[in-house]
């Protein structure tokens, strides 16, 4: 069964080559820019340099279902429908540098 889009609640999520996206998201190239001809703009790219690694489709499914995912550094990634990236990263506290 397909996963319902968490933003528009009409479309379903699809796995593309570079992202997971809503079926209502229809980007078209217009010159050097992309414009959305669809009614929803929900999409999460697999590449995420701020997260420190690529996000897997399974992790995106967990995020959409309301689960936070954690990377090796202890940072968490969760769904944030108000963000233009539709995700929010909470960074783990860093250890203080040691005195010499």
Q: Tens-digit pLDDT profile for the chain (100 aa)?
A: 689 999 999 999 999 999 999 999 998 888 888 888 999 999 999 998 888 889 998 999 999 999 999 998 899 999 999 999 999 999 998 878 788 7
Q: What is the pLDDT of residue 22?
A: 96
Rounded to whole angstroms, the Cα distance separating 92 from 2 reads 33
Entry pTM: 0.82
Token pair for residue 44?
């999460």
**Contact (CB, 8 A) for 75 and 52:** yes
| DSSP annotation of 58 | H
Residues 57, 90, 5, CA angle at the centre, nearest 5°?
Answer: 40
């Amino acid at each position: 069964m397909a996963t319902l889009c968490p933003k528009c609640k009409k479309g379903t999520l699809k796995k593309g080559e570079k992202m997971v996206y809503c079926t209502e998201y229809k980007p078209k190239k217009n010159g050097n820019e992309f414009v959305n001809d669809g009614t929803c703009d929900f999409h999460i790219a697999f590449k995420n340099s701020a997260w420190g690694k690529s996000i897997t489709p399974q992790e995106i499914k967990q995020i959409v279902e309301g689960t936070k995912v954690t990377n090796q550094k202890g940072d968490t990634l969760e769904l944030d429908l108000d963000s233009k990236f539709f995700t929010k990263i909470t960074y783990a506290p860093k250890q203080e540098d040691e005195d010499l």
